[in-house]
Structures are given as C-alpha cells and as structure tokens.
C-alpha cells in the first residue's frame, strides 16, 4: 500500500524534520503550514530533490473548514491519507494570573482542537482501509507541567488523553494512535526563549544538551513504520533524560 502522510506544521522545526524523514522512507508527504509558504516550498523542494514526493498545503489547523479542504486536496493529489502527524503547535506563555483568555483560547485551539479536527478528517479513510497511523506531538510540559505554560501544558496533556482514548476507539480498525513528548529541541520555538534559558535547560538534561528535530523525527518515523505495529496509546518521551 502506498503510504501518504499529512504532517501539520511541517514548514519549520520538528515538523520539517518529520516530513523529510518520512519522505526518505518512501512516504508521499503533505507539508502543511499556516503562513510560511516559502519555507514549506523549500521543504517540498528538498524532498523532491532527493527523489521523494511532496506537496505544500496551507491550512490553519484550528479552522474546521480549512482542515476539511486540506484533506480533500491531499486525497485528490496524493491519495488516501494513511499517516497523520499532528505536529503544529504554538506557545504563548504567561502566569495564569496575568494570562488573557484569548491567550488561553489561541493555544488550546491551535494545539488541541487542531488534533481533534485533523484526526477526524483523516480517520474516515483509515477506517475504510483498515490501516492507519496517527502520531501526536505532545511535550514534557504536558507530562510534568511547567510554570508559565498552563495553557500549553493543558493542551499537551489533553493530547495525551486524546491519544489514549483514540487508541481504544480505533484499535479494532487496524489504526494505531501514539504520542511523542519532546523535551527541549533546537527550533525557533526554543530559540525564542533566549540563550540563558536554554543554557539553564541544558543543565537539567541528563545528556547535557538540547535535542535536534531529527532526533524526534526518527521516533515518529519508527511509530509510523511496520516495526511499531503492536504499539498503541503510548506516549514516548524524547527529552535526553530531562524529566527523569
């Protein structure tokens, strides 16, 4: 069966590495992005340059109509989706006492509502095919909590509950649903924290350094592979020992 993946938020960072990794495994990849069309085109060019297949698809993953249109286009241009990686995510940090409700809603909507919308859109075809892999990118913040990130941690913990529930809902249909919870990974998201904060973070990590997007992508690639056919409902922490 030809594998077709949608990777949300694949124009940069971890999503980009996941798209490139899956393409290298022979998967046709839809590179979703919100606004970085130039960067998404670069990812597509990189994949095509190595002999792979990819398309760039713009969609705000918190928007139900945009998500539906994205899945229609991917099915038309690449075929039925067999792998969904819910990776798109944002932070908008602040202590709850100072947090605006719009700040709460935006993070929950982008990080969690999106996972529900994209999963629902991908599931119909997967149920029909009796085959599918859904991999949701959570965070160690969702496992352990983090002061100043109540909105983000709630969205990422929500993803873990959603992952377990979906694994139970669709397991009998040949679909596995797992989560990956990265720690500190070198991307624009962590660069925004500044050198002092990332330096302090590195001091807390058993391996003594931040992770690379490729180190997350290889775990996602494994969960999407035949080798992971009997793993479902799990959250795999990829954090260099941060949460130990």
Nearest to 238 by CA among 158, 171, 138: 138
- Interface with ligand NAP (CB under 6 A), residue total 31
| Shortest Cβ 187–ligand NAP spacing (Å) | 3
The DSSP element (H or E) to which 164 belongs, if any, is helix 150-170
| Residue 60 binds ligand NAP, judged by CB under 6 A | yes
Q: Distances in Å between the alpha carbon of 29 and those of 10, 15, 51, 139, 240?
A: 10, 11, 12, 23, 28
Q: What pairs with residue 68 in β-bridges?
A: none
| Shortest Cβ 99–ligand NAP spacing (Å) | 17
Binds ligand NAP by CB under 6 A, chosen from 4, 5, 7, 8: 8
| Residue 9 binds ligand NAP, judged by CB under 6 A | yes
Residues tagged active-site: 152
Binds ligand NAP by CB under 6 A, chosen from 189, 202, 231, 243: 189
Residues contacting residue 18 through CB under 8 Å, at least 6 positions apart? 7, 10, 85, 87, 213, 216, 217, 220, 221
Of 12 and 133, CB closest to ligand NAP:
12
- Per-residue tokens: 15: 């999503």
Binds ligand NAP by CB under 6 A, chosen from 5, 7, 14, 30: 14
Of 187 and 235, CB closest to ligand NAP:
187
Which residues from 15-34 bind ligand NAP, rule CB under 6 A? 15, 32-34
Residue pair 25/221 in contact by the 8 Å Cβ criterion: yes
Contact letters for ligand NAP, residues 124-143 (x by CB under 6 A): -------------x-x----
What is the C-alpha separation between 23 and 53, in angstroms, rounded? 7
Q: DSSP readout, 45-87?
A: HHHHHTT--EEEEE--TT-HHHHHHHHHHHHHHT-S--EEEE-
Of 162 and 184, CB closest to ligand NAP:
184
| Residue 6 binds ligand NAP, judged by CB under 6 A | no
Binds ligand NAP by CB under 6 A, chosen from 6, 62, 78, 220: 62
Contact letters for ligand NAP, residues 69-108 (x by CB under 6 A): ------------------xxxx------------------
What is the C-alpha separation between 51 and 218, in angstroms, rounded? 19
What is the C-alpha separation between 227 and 98, in angstroms, rounded? 46
Interface positions with ligand NAP (CB under 6 A): 8-15, 32-36, 39, 60-62, 87-90, 110, 137, 139, 182, 184-185, 187-190
């Amino acid at each position: 069966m030809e594998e077709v993946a949608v990777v949300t938020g694949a124009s940069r960072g971890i999503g980009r590495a996941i798209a490139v990794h899956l393409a290298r495994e022979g998967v046709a990849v839809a590179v979703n992005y919100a606004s970085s069309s130039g960067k998404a085109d670069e990812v597509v060019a990189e994949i095509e340059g190595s002999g792979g297949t990819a398309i760039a698809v713009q969609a705000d993953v918190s928007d139900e109509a945009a998500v539906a249109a994205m899945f229609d286009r991917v099915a038309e241009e690449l075929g039925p989706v067999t792998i969904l990686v819910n990776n798109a995510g944002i932070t908008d940090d602040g202590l709850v006492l100072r947090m605006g409700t719009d700040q709460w809603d935006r993070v929950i909507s982008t990080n969690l509502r999106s996972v529900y919308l994209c999963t629902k859109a991908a599931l119909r075809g997967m149920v029909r095919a009796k085959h599918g892999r859904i991999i949701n990118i959570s965070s160690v913040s969702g496992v352990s909590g983090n002061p100043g990130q109540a909105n983000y941690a709630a969205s990422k913990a929500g993803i873990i509950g959603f992952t377990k529930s979906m694994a139970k809902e669709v397991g009998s249909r040949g679909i596995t649903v797992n989560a990956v919870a990265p720690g500190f990974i070198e991307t624009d998201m962590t660069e925004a924290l500044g050198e002092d904060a990332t330096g302090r973070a590195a001091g807390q990590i058993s391996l003594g350094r931040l992770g690379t997007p490729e180190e997350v992508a290889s775990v996602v690639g494994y969960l999407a592979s035949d080798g992971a056919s009997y793993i479902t409902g799990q959250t795999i922490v990829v954090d260099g020992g941060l949460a130990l």
